[in-house]
Amino acid sequence: MKLRFDSLLRPMPGAVLIFTLTVGAFAQEAPPPGAPPGTIATKAFTRNRVISILPDTKRALVLKSDERNPFARRNPDVDLITEDSEQETEADLIRDKLTSLPITGRTYGPKGLRILAGEIVFERGKTVDPVIENQTENLRVENIDDTTIELAWIDLETGKLTGKQLKLFYDLSPKVRFLLKGQEAGDDLVADRKYGVFHPDHSLPIAERQDQAEEQEPAELPNGISQKAFQEGQ
């Protein structure tokens, strides 16, 4: 099918045609080396100008009742944060509080694992208790496994999830907090008595064992322990 350019460019009655020419907008590219005969070169578009949005070209954005306004001010009592301010947002304060909670217990409930962090109990499907004063942002427990607690942020206006998540990692495996030096056995597999350790003779009656413990005093006490404190400890 052939097109007649004179018919395409012929203006309609009462219409005004405006032609604009952008110099250098399209650059002719040569066919790649080794291309088969008849290959047509393509045109690559080169950006050479920036299109800005003018005030008179802006258009309003209408939100539905169930949509979230990302520019809404959640807490009017909190000052707006500027770019030069180092003040933390409410979400940052909540995140810092939750990540600093000591996780000390874990048990199983009707909905799976239940975690004790400070005074807060995390359970799947439960809304997290407020951790700061006048808190407006809320979170809900989405999932709990052996190492992670997944929390989801809830929109204040719609009550739906915003898509943001906060993960708390924990490890309740047994750990050694203080490692004390023990007693080493000798060649005969008998350990020498250390300071403050008394081995009574079990062949004696209980009364005689008590008398023997009261009469025996260590030759030297470690760390400056007084005799009275040592006797009270025995």
Condensed to tens digits (0 to 9), the pLDDT of residues 53-98 reads 777 777 777 777 777 776 666 666 555 555 444 567 888 899 999 9
Asked whether 77 and 134 are in contact (CB, 8 A), the reply is yes
How many domains does the chain contain in total?
1
Asked whether 154 and 161 are in contact (CB, 8 A), the reply is yes
Task: Tell me the pLDDT tens digit for each residue of 223-232.
Answer: 566 666 666 5
Q: Within a domain: residue 232?
A: no
Q: Within a domain: residue 100?
A: yes
Q: Within a domain: residue 140?
A: yes
pLDDT at site 128 = 92
- Distance of alpha carbon 80 from alpha carbon 117, whole angstroms: 31
Q: Within a domain: residue 6?
A: no
Q: Within a domain: residue 138?
A: yes
Q: Is the pLDDT of residue 140 over 90?
A: yes
Q: Indicate the DSSP class of residue 180.
A: -
**pLDDT (mean) for 26-33:** 58
Task: Tell me the pLDDT tens digit for each residue of 204-216.
Answer: 666 666 666 556 5
- 100 versus 70: which is more confidently predicted? 100
122: containing domain: 90-169
Which residue stretches of 82-226 are H helix?
90-99, 206-215
